[in-house]
Amino acid sequence: MALNNVRLLTILFNSCFHFLRQAVASGYKMTAVVFSPSKNVMNVDEVQRKGYAIANTPTRLVLRSPHNAEETYLQNVAGVPMRVLSTSTFFEQKWLVTRVDATAVCPTPEAVAFTPEVITWYMPKHIDPLFSSDAFTMLEVYMGIDAKRLDTEEMAARNYSVLVTEAHIIVEIPVGAVGGYFKSHIQDDQYFVTYTIEPMLELLWIEEVAHENTSYKVLFPITTPPMARPPQVRNYTPLDTVPEQAVFVLELGTFNLDVELLNITFPTMVLTVAECNARGFNVQEQRSPDNTLKTFRMEVPFSDPVVFKERRAEQGVTTFTLQLIYGLVIFPEYAPFSHSAVVDAVLLDIGMPLVTGNCDQENFHITVDYRNQEPFFVVLVGKRLLNHEFAQQYLTEGDTDFTITLPFSSPDAVFESVHSSSVRSRLDVALLNPYNNMTIKYFSLACSFLKTLTECFSNGTMTALAVKVESAPGLNPGQLTLSDPACGPTYSDDRFAYFHFTVNSCGTTRKFINNVMLYENEISLPDELEVKLNATTSSEEEYQ
């Protein structure tokens, strides 16, 4: 923190160099300092006892002052409060006395505005106490970090900006930019971070009257106010499992890198991180991709005694509860803090239900064996929840199982593909935990059903059924036509199109093959739609 309170104050007037060189060369010694505006006179010893450092080289007078030293004062310069130290230093040689006036001006914390995203430092351009007149030209403005000047590319890469306006030089630094650092803090057991950076400004101006260059360099450590970063426990516990294999997966974060996890307090015991790992909790520190933040991840098996279990038999579920207090510290000052959390999970008491299935010529049969336990899950058939009406129509119950029987053409099934004499249809069934809708078990059954999709009648008419397949979800069966685009379906809905036509119409062609007459027609989308939907069904008809 020393950097925040002490500033190096150097004033380099060219004329002084010349004077100092001569003075020191001719044996002048620094004897006293007079501070303005108090007019307090101190000899060099007193000055040093008061906490100032003063020294000279042949070309420089260096005076170092605590930032808030008694002899400094506040002055408002172009609306920005600046701290000023104004001195006259006396040099003596025998009977001769001469003096060097020197003034230092530093920004104060009030010169900075903060938002959660950006630090803005306002520096007056005409730093009044350092000027003897109003007319001047700013020759150079450089920004740097940690006393090192940066070029334009480096500034852009770090998203720093310097804007020179009529009255100010405005430095903007994004909170978190390269060059600064975050530090963790605890206040009332709450977690905060601050961001600190030490920008530098180097100015060079020329005063028109004196025609003298003045260079000014200031290093200005800036720390943002504490920003609250309340940690959170994220729960990644997978629940599609049986209690014997279940684990709580928790992640605590997000922290700055100076935070360490020491121990975890459970209702029955305190375990160090090493003890947690010995117990199989696999505590891991995880870093963000840019390596600036960390979280702590761990896995606690439901079967561990630190997990509290409560069975609710009437509901057929068990609740698992993990209560914990993370014990953390901030380095290097070793400031302790804690974060407590309670997480729970509801698991069904059943073992994993067994789902099997088969098909006959018309139907799917899917059997769910819930193994002597209450079947405490909800069943999703296709996209539909199995409710009472659905159950009445399609469900038969056994002792420890039930069977769902659905026709292959049910809207809950999907057609995977269609061939001239068969249809491949699939039924998806999922068992869900009603407490969180997570999938306990997923089962899918696909079968080919032998189906005559086309028929011929002795009076010379034909029928054909086209079905929508899963791979053509955008298909509107009502838009299908026979070879003659004027022949649309006699009936259609969102899944089927039914055609009924005579063999001498609608573009039907005729072939003789070994005493058999073969009529062919094709069902497709009109050309302009076909490209988009890519679904065609062809039918071949045989008359004997």
The verdict on 262 binding ligand NAG (CB under 6 A) reads yes
Exposed, middle or buried: residue 527 (CB in 10 Å: 0-12, 13-18, 19+)?
exposed
Q: Is the peptide bond before 254 cis (omega within 30 degrees of 0)?
A: yes
Give the contact letters, 339-378, x = binds to ligand NAG (CB under 6 A), - = no. ----------------------------------------
Name the residue nearer to ligand NAG (CB basis): 88 or 196: 196
Give the C-alpha separation, 228 to 242, whole Å: 39
> Is 33 in a helix, a strand, or coil?
strand
Residue 470 in tokens: 């899963």
Based on CB atoms, which residue is closest to ligand NAG, 37 or 289?
289
231 binds ligand NAG (CB under 6 A): no
Query: Which of 157, 236, 163, 147 shows the shortest CA–CA distance to 199?
Result: 147
C-beta closer to ligand NAG: residue 214 or 223: 214
- Distance (Å, rounded) from C-alpha 9 to C-alpha 53? 10
In the range 153-172, which residues lie near ligand NAG by CB under 6 A? Answer: 158-159
Applying CB under 6 A, does 15 fall inside the site for ligand NAG? Answer: no
Is 35 or 337 the residue whose CB approaches ligand NAG more closely? 337
In 3D, which of 115, 111, 90 has the Cα closest to residue 100? 90
Sign of CA dihedral 383, 387, 389, 392: positive
- The residue range among 107-115, 204-212, 305-313, 403-411 that interacts with ligand NAG, by the rule CB under 6 A, is 204-212
Single-letter amino acid, residue 445: L
Provide, rounded to whole angstroms, the least separation between the CB of residue 461 and ligand NAG. 4
Interaction between residue 76 and ligand NAG (CB under 6 A): no
Interface region with ligand NAG, contact rule CB under 6 A, candidates 61-69, 163-171, 227-235, 453-461: 453-461
Contact assessment for residue 98 and residue 28, using Cβ atoms and an 8 Å cutoff: yes
Contact with ligand NAG (CB under 6 A) among 5, 232, 356, 471: 471
In this structure, are residues 101 and 35 in contact, taking their beta carbons and an 8 Å threshold? Answer: no
Whichever of 40 and 159 has its CB closer to ligand NAG, that residue is 159
Among residues 97, 139, 278, 438, the one that binds ligand NAG under rule CB under 6 A: 139
Neighbours of 376 (CB within 10 A): 18
Q: Which is nearer to ligand NAG, 71 or 541 (CB)?
A: 541
- Using CB positions, name the residue nearest to ligand NAG: 327
Report d(CA 255, CA 236) in Å as an integer: 18
Q: Which stretch binds ligand NAG (CB under 6 A): 29-37, 187-195, 334-342, 402-410?
A: 334-342
- Please answer whether residues 454 and 446 qualify as being in contact, where contact means their C-beta atoms are separated by less than 8 angstroms: no
Q: Kindly write out the interface string for residues 476-515 of this chain, putting x where it contacts ligand NAG by CB under 6 A and - elsewhere.
A: ----------------------------------------
Tokens at 310, concatenated: 């409560």
What is the number of H-type helices and E-type strands within the chain? 7, 46
Size of the site for ligand NAG (CB under 6 A): 25
* For ligand NAG, the closer CB: 392 or 459: 459
Residue 416: its H or E element: strand 414-419
Percent helix, strand and coil across the chain, each rounded to 5? 10, 55, 35
- Say how far apart CA 156 and CA 441 lie, in whole Å: 54
Do the Cβ atoms of 462 and 456 come closer than 8 Å? yes
Nearest approach, Cβ of residue 119 and ligand NAG (Å)? 13
- Shortest Cβ 265–ligand NAG spacing (Å): 7
Residues paired with residue 295 on neighbouring β-strands, in sequence order? 286
User: Which helix H or strand E contains 391, and what residues bound it?
Assistant: helix 388-394
Question: Strands 247-256 and 232-235: what pairing?
Answer: antiparallel
Q: Does residue 68 bind ligand NAG (CB under 6 A)?
A: no
- Closer CB to ligand NAG, residue 356 or residue 452? 452
Question: Could you tell me the smallest distance in angstroms from the CB atom of residue 177 to ligand NAG?
Answer: 6
Minimum distance, C-beta of residue 139 to ligand NAG, in the bound complex (Å):
5
Contact between 336 and ligand NAG by CB under 6 A: the answer reads yes
Residue closer to ligand NAG (CB basis): 47 or 330: 330
Nearest to residue 119, comparing CAs of 254, 220, 202? 220
Residue 213 as a binder of ligand NAG (CB under 6 A): the answer is yes
Q: Helix (H, G, I), strand (E, B), or coil: what is residue 60?
A: coil
What's the length of the chain? 544
> 276 — phi, psi (to 5°)?
-60, -45
336/398 with CB nearer ligand NAG: 336
Q: In the complex, what is the shortest distance from the CB of residue 392 to ligand NAG, in angstroms, rounded to a whole number?
A: 21
Give the containing element (helix H, strand E) for 5.
Answer: helix 2-5
Chain positions 171 to 200 lying near ligand NAG, rule: CB under 6 A, are 177
Binding to ligand NAG (CB under 6 A) within 272-331 occurs at 327-329
Q: Site for ligand NAG (CB under 6 A): which residue of 108, 241, 263, 505?
A: 263
Q: Which residues bind ligand NAG (CB under 6 A)?
A: 139, 158-159, 177, 204, 206, 211, 213, 262-263, 270, 327-329, 336-338, 435-437, 457, 459, 461, 471, 534
